[in-house]
Every structure is written in C-alpha cells, then in structure tokens.
A and B are shown apart, each in its own frame.
Chain A
Amino acid sequence: MSTLPTLMLLLLGVAAGGWVLRFAGQKATGNAPVFRDMPFAVAFGYILGAGLLAFSVWYYFQPTLTEAGTPNAGVVFFRWAVQFFIVATIAAFLFRALGRTVGTQFSKKMFRQMPLTASFGVLVVIVYAFTAIFAAWLAPHGQEAIFAKVNVLPGGNAATGGDPLHPLGTDQIGRDLLSRLIYGAQNTVGIAFVTTCLAFFLGGSLGFLAATLQGWLDQVLSRAVDVLMAIPSLIFALLLMTIASAWAGSERWLLTVYMILIIAVIDSTRVFRLARAVGLNIVVMDYIEAAKLRGEGMTYLIFKEILPNATAPLLAEFGLRFCFVFLTIASLSFLGVGIQPPLADWGTMVRDSAQFINFAAFSPLTAALPLLAAGAIALLTVGVNFVVDWMLHRSSGLKE
C-alpha cells in the first residue's frame, strides 16, 4: 500500500506549487490586488486543477492496446467518456445557437439567458421525447422479436463474435438489444411520465384545495400525508408491490398498472406538500383578499388567481418529481419487481447484463452494455435536473 504516501506527497507538491504561484504572481505583477488578496485555498485550487487537467490529457493519449496486445480498457473508457463530453458540449452549444436565431421573441430571449448545462438538458429531453414517441420507426426490430442467434456480442463485427444485423448484440433468448434499448425509452420514460402526471393531478389538486379551504380538510389531509411520508418511499413502494404482485398473480401487465398507481400515490404526498405550501404563500397575498372581498367564488380563486402564480414552482417540481419517479421505477425494475417482461425496460436490462462488466479487461464494448442502459437512465435525469436547476436559479432572482 504505497498509495497513501504517494497521495500525501502529491498533495504536498500541489500545496507548495500553490504557494509558489501566489508568491511569483505577487512579485511579477508588483503586488496587484488579484495576487495580493488571493487566499491560499484559491492558489491551491488553481494548481490542483491544472495538475488534473495535465494528467487527463496525458492519459487520453495513452495507447489503447497494451504491449501484450490486450486492450487497455481504462484508456478506452476514458476516451469514450471524454469524447462523449466534448460531443455533448458542442451539441449543446450548437443547439443554443440555433435557439437564439430561430423561434419566437420569447424563446429567443430564453435561449440567450440560458447556460450551456440547461441547453444541454433541453436537448436531452427533446431527443428522449422523440425517441420515445417514434420508437416503433426508429428501432430496427420489434421489442419482443426473438432471433435464432443468442448472446451475440456487441460491435457488429463477426470476427469478434458480433453480427452486423445486431449492432449491440442480442440477449440470452435472442432479442435485439438495440431495439430493446430504443423501446426502453418508450416504456420506461412513458410509464414514468404517466405516473408523474397522475401524482401531480392527485397531489396538486388536493394541495391547492387544502391551502384555499384550510380548516379540517387541510388538517386531515396534512396529517395523513405526514404519516405516509414517514415511511421511506422506495421501501413503501416495495411493500405495496409485494401485495400487488399477489393480487396480479400471473397477469403481468396488471402488475405494471398497479406499480403506476402505487408510485403515483406515494409521490403525490410530496406534490401535496409543495402545492399546499405554494398555495398558502399565495393565499395570504392581498390580491387574494381583494378577490375574496369582491365576492369571487372558489373556482375563480383557484384557477384565475392562485394557479397562474404557482406555475413556475410547480413546473420545477414536475421536473424533480419526474426524475424521482423515473429513478424509483428504474430501481424497482432493477430489483426485479418493476416493469415486467416482455416489455423492454432499462432497469431490467441493467440487471440482466450486469455480469458483463467483469469482461471489461478483455472486451470493453461488452462491458459497456450494462453501463449503456444505466447511462440512458442517468442521462435523462441529469438533463432534466440541469433544466430544473436553471429554472430554480432564475426564479430565485439574484439572491446568489
């Protein structure tokens, strides 16, 4: 274990470098305020950052094959990651540039203020939505179609156990993995979207009702939600899924419907809390009092006065909730109690192909398979979160 001393030595080196940087800067610029008032931590950070950058560049240009002829898998994965990062950045940049020139006055203005992360997020959401809607046209095969060749390796190269017909290979019963990955967008994302909408409808309407009416209804609903929220959501979902699976028996599609209902109800408690809090903040405003004193009815109050002012926080919450629901469903599927076969689903795909990761040293492409499905899940949530983060930052004004 010489890792620890090496690490310590490296850190010491960085610290010394930071000190030198600051000292040299002060001397070279005649004590300019930038260097004079620079905290040591900042100088340390600069050197550390520069060191990491230099190491990354060096590592990127390492050969992909070792001298023994086996693939240097670490380098391969690193290159993939860096290439993905660069392509994503360029795509986000181009997309934002496009948004700034095309579209309405409003959307142009929005794109002008948008940071790169948010435009990347929007792009990801659009791509996923497109894939989900047009999965049937995009996928080369049906999601349940079974081919004669089983366990075809990815890569499409016959010499390495692949098949050009199946660029990502086939699974153990001979289904085309690329098609299943594309259909996964439809199933996983679609189901998560439906569930979130349901949770919003349920939690949102009850939350606003509780905020406007207050009194006993508010008390009863709030206490019920308190209790439901005292059980961790994934645990509660698993418990209810056990019972649902007993009810569903061999009807697997029924279990998927139950799952949608269960997660929607569990998640609606969180939506309820937020909708109620947002509603309560609006209800105390003087313009609501003015409307009440004018003699306006409940419908007008909720739809014309409260809701228009709640859209921004609710939209952000919708994004967050969607991520949460999406991850919960993926986790359930990964654990084997979520979306049921024969529907293609990313969580299940990760579970089924997880053992391939052990082949990384011989065939990086094969090992990438479980990561591809898991990455597909992660990418969408990252994208949505980027957008939500920007929305929240914008609505909080210039507080930071």
Chain B
Amino acid sequence: MSALVEIRDLWIEGRSDETWSPIINGASLSLNKGEVLGLIGESGAGKSTLGLAAMGFTRDGVRISKGTVLFDGVDLTLASASKKRELLGKRIAYVAQSAAASFNPAHKLMDQHTEGPVQHGVMSRAESVKDGIELYRRLRLPNPEEIGFRYPHQVSGGQLQRAMTAMAMSCRPDLIIFDEPTTALDVTTQIEVLASIRDIVEQFDTAAIYITHDLAVVAQMADRIKVLLKGDEVEDADTRTMLTHPKEDYTKSLWAVRAFERPQKPAVHTSATPVLSVQNVSAAYGKIAVLHDVSFDIHQGRTVAVVGESGSGKSTTARCITGLLPPSQGVIQFDGQSLPANYKQRNKDQLRQAQMIYQMADTALNPRKTVGEIIGRPVQFYMGLSGKQKRRRVEELLDEIEMPAAQYIDRLPSELSGGQKQRIGIARALAAEPKFIICDEVTSALDQLVAEGILKLLARLQDDLKLSYMFITHDLATVKAIADEVVVMKDGEVVEQGPKQDMFAPPHHPYTDLLLSSVPEMDPDWLTNLLNERGVDNIGDAAVDKMS
C-alpha cells in the first residue's frame, strides 16, 4: 500500500532582505492512512513551514526550491492552483495555533463550518449543519445545538480550538495538520482539547501531522515522532522507541531537560526573619478587586514559586511587592521593616534591594543601548562607580552570567539570542547587588534547552550570592526544577502553600491536584490513564467549574 503523504527531499527557502535563506533542508517523510505523526522542534526549526508544505502551501515570502510533496499520488508542488483548491479543505484540512485569530470575526461559527462542505459539494448546507452539531457533541462542546450560531468572539479560547477541529473535520478529510493547537491555552483547558482531538482523529481514522514544541503533548498524540532542528531532520522513530531510546544527542538533551531538579533545601528556622514578607495583601485595579488577603514569606537563599493559571493574580502580587500597584490593604515587609506602598516613596536602598527579571527579554532591554550601558547604569546609579571601575564591574557581571565580556559588551540587544537577552536581564538585576529578585515567567518565552540553562544559572547564583527568589510561573515543570516552597494561586487568592516536597505529594488541595494532574507527562499512556481515572467529563473547565 502506498503512503497517503510522501514528502521527498524537500527544500524550502524564505526571503529576508532580497536574499533567500534556507528554512528546510531536504526533509522527507511519509505518512500512512490513519497514522498520526508528531513534528517537534524548537522555535525556528521550520516545523510549521514543513506542515504547511505538506498541504502544498507556502506563506508569502517563502518558496519550495526543490523536492516533491505527493498527496495520494498527486505532486502538490506542481499541481495547478485549482487542482490544489479541490484538495484543500476537502481532503486535507488545517487547524491553526490561534483559533481566535483564525476564525473570521464577521461570520458565525456554523457559517464558517459549513462553507467547506457546501463549496466542495460534499454536503448540502442543512446536512452540514446537522453534521456540525454532531461533531460539536462528539468534541464535548457545551450546548452543541446552539454554540455554532455564535460569533467567534462570543466563545472561549479552548472551545474555539475544538470548533476549529470540528471545522477541519467537516468534509471528513484524509489528513489534518494541527499547528500547535494547544500552545496558547492554560493546562487545565489544554487537556480537554487534547482529549477531544485524539478521540475524533481515532474515530474517523484520520491521518494527522501534529506540530508542537511540547514533548509531553506529542507523546500523547502521535504514533510516530520526527524531531527537527534548524530545518534539518534529526531523528524519526515511533513514539515509544523515541521516548525510551533516543539515538541522537540533540534528542537526548531535549529529553534530559525534563529531569533537571534541584534537591529540596531543609526547612528554615521558624524564628528567622524572612527577607520578604507579604502580609494580608489585597489589591484592586480601579474597582475590580484582583487580590484577596494574600500572605506568604520568602527566606534568605530560598526560592518561592508562585503558581497559577492566567488571571490568578500572580503578576499582580509582584506589582504590589515592587510598589507599582499600592495594595488596598496589608503590608509588604522587607527584612522586618515595612516598605512604603508606592515605589515613589521608597528610598534608593529599598529600591536596590528588590530587583526584577521580566518574561519578555525583548521589551525588558532598551533596544538602543549596548549591553555595557544596560548593565552599567545600575552600577553607576546605585554604586556610584564610573569610568574604568564601572567597566571592570560590568565585565565581572558578564563573567558571572557566563557571557565573555570582550565579545558582548558593545553589542545591542538585537544582536543577541533570546537566552542571551534573558541573561543580560539577570546581570542588570545583579548589578544592583540585591537581596531579593522577582523572576516573572523568565523562562516561558524560551525554548526548553535554553530555559534549562537559565534555571541552572539562577540556581548557581542563588547558592553563590545567597539570593532569595520569588519565581512566578504557570509551568509546573519549572516549579519542580527550582522551587523550595510553592504558593498556589487561583482567582486572586492563595489556595495552598508549603514546601515543594509536600506540594508534589498527596494529599493535595483539589485545585492543586487538578493543576498537577493536568500537566502532560512523557508517558504515552498518561492521557488515557488520566481519562480512565477521572472520566471524560471531569477534566478541564468542567472540573474547574465544579470546584468553585
């Protein structure tokens, strides 16, 4: 039997500044009917480009320079535009990363759902509407009868993603390309989208290419995994083999990231004064209350991870601590002394002692200043150093973050990689010689290997300099890796807090339990087991709703 999709020696180039540079260098893949292939790689690996090329489609400024893409015997690189239109939507469908942006805001979901079947002559509109409702039901969307007659902006993100999967299914295609369909979702929402996608692909025996950067997700979804690195194919094997016996070094290093974990530090002496103490803090944006009675302590040399999903109030807590958002109630104490609520009333030393590292290194560094100027400013501002002394201190700091000063000191942020930018952010915080640093999702915009490097650096600095960290994150793997204590937040309240080892062992608060169990694991049977354990109706939003 010949394969459904057969890509042979495909080369793809992208245009930048009038020249063409390679994106994919000679990729090959084949996919049988009903098979699910996982494409994984870090950002810039070319996985989306390859996924779209499997549909015979390239974005503007991208071209296929060599190779063939055979779909059911038809070479899509040579096919005429009208021939390709016959296949797209009808036999090959696409599910995009952001459903909110990929649904046309001007039409109702059902109108967009039926467009494919009606235009391709697969079904009449009435049949397609009926079928759509049935698909919505199978994808476990709430109110399947009614939800299709809403506009996209009236439906939540996780539901839109499932509606888009339904739309892809509307003509019963032979192949669906899933392009990072759950990346933008919270973990508890992600799980129900994953479950419903997997079910429906199995039910209709559809072949799929599942593109993602998340290993644990791909382990649940794919029969076979292909690893890409900067446009080159690294390794291709069936899921279980790939997970247990990766061959290539790159693949092994990807797998190993998950294993990084710092040992739990012994409990702090109860009488010790915490470096930072948040006491009964409540805060509001205007009239909307966002924080309710939040309290926790951070001791010297310890890391407190503040965990929660979007909207849980973890970043607002950081704004209260820094004084950007004065709390409506409660106090922030530093070394046993109350800090003024507004940062404008704090003195230079108080400001110096608490530093911050941001999520997006791109917006955290002034693009017009060199590395030397960025790190040099706090050195000059707080320490009063200038000239040669200042330069020597900047060089020391660059050493500290493992970036050779001679090479980097005169560079602009735009000439650095994402991980290097984040390191400069760390050096800028260190330059103030603080006791306490707030790390706001510092690794979530980075690829896993790079993120691991940053986490290791932060851990080493903590040991060397006795720093205290408040680590804001939504990623439980990061928590496992670096935290000593954990604070779980939901809807502006602290749900549970305690030492890491206690938090990751039962008994849990129900929400912590839900959060923990929703994090995909590398075990390919994890999703199946979880669903068996909890039942299909007890995951994701439904479970969250039941709790509150």
Residue numbers of A with Cβ under 8 A of B are: 33, 36-37, 113, 285-287, 289-290, 292-296, 305, 308-309, 398
Contact between chains at B16 and A398 (CB < 8 Å)? yes
Residue B326 interfacial (CB < 8 Å)? no
Residues of B within 8 A of A294 (CB): 351, 377-378, 381-382, 432
> Is there an interface contact between A295 and B363, defined as CB atoms closer than 8 Å?
no
29 contacts between A and B (CB under 8 A): A33-B78, A33-B80, A37-B80, A285-B364, A285-B366, A286-B363, A286-B364, A287-B363, A287-B364, A287-B365, A289-B324, A289-B356, A290-B364, A290-B428, A292-B343, A293-B322, A293-B323, A293-B324, A293-B356, A294-B351, A294-B381, A295-B348, A296-B381, A305-B366, A308-B366, A308-B368, A309-B367, A309-B368, A398-B16
Q: A113 to B16: give the CA distance in the assembly, Å.
A: 12
Q: In the bound complex, do residue A293 and residue B364 qualify as a contact, i.e. CB atoms below 8 Å apart?
A: no
- Inter-chain contact B348/A309, CB cutoff 8 Å: no
Distance (whole angstroms) from the CB of B130 to the closest CB of chain A = 37
Partner of B363, one of A285, A296, A305, A398: A285
- Shortest C-beta distance, B35 to chain A (Å), equals 31
Known: A286-B358, A309-B366. A295 touches B16 (CB 8 A): no
Q: Given that A286-B360, A292-B343 are known contacts, is A36 also in contact with B80, CB under 8 Å in the complex?
A: yes
Chain B residues whose C-beta falls within 8 Å of the C-beta of A286 in the assembled complex:
358, 360, 363-364
By a CB distance below 8 angstroms, the chain A residues around B364 are 285-287, 290
Q: How far is the CB of B297 from chain A (nearest CB, A)?
A: 22
Task: Return B258 CB to nearest CB of chain A, in Å.
Answer: 29
Q: Residues of A contacting B366 with CB < 8 Å?
A: 285, 287, 305, 308-309
Contact between A293 and B367, CB atoms less than 8 A apart: no
Task: Kindly list chain A residues whose C-beta atoms are within 8 Å of the C-beta of B80.
Answer: 33, 36-37
Nearest Cβ on chain B to A342's Cβ, whole angstroms: 47
5 nearest CB pairs, A to B: A308-B368, A286-B364, A286-B358, A287-B366, A286-B363
Contact A398-B428, Cβ < 8 Å, known A290-B356, A308-B366: no
Closest residue of A by beta carbon distance from B354: A293
**How far is the CB of B72 from the nearest CB of chain A, in Å?**
21
Give complex CA distance A122, B309 in Å.
53
Most buried by A among B15, B343, B382: B343
Q: Which residues of B contact A287 (CB under 8 A)?
A: 363-366
Residues of B within 8 Å of A290, CB to CB, are 356, 358, 364, 428
Residues of A within 8 A of B288 (CB): none
Tell me the smallest distance from the CB of B205 to a CB of chain A, in Å: 34
| Chain A residue nearest to B369 in the complex (CB) | A308
- Chain A, residue nearest B374 (CB): A287
Known contacts A287-B363, A398-B16; decide if A293 and B343 are in contact (CB<8 Å).
yes
With A and B bound together, what is the CA distance between A390 and B366 in angstroms? Answer: 25
Residues of B84-128 contacting chain A, CB below 8 A? none
Chain A residue nearest in CB terms to B359: A286
Instruction: Indicate if B61 sits at the interface (CB-CB under 8 A).
Output: yes
In the complex formed, the residue of A with least CB distance to B346 is A295
A294 to B347, CA, bound (A): 10
Q: Apart from A293-B356, A294-B351, A309-B368, list 15 A-B contacts with CB within 8 A.
A: A285-B363, A285-B366, A286-B364, A289-B324, A290-B428, A292-B324, A293-B323, A294-B378, A294-B432, A295-B351, A295-B381, A305-B366, A308-B366, A398-B16, A398-B61
| Residues of chain A lying within 8 A (CB to CB) of residue B272 | none
By beta carbon, the residue of chain B nearest A31 is B80
Does B81 sit at the interface, judged by CB under 8 A?
yes
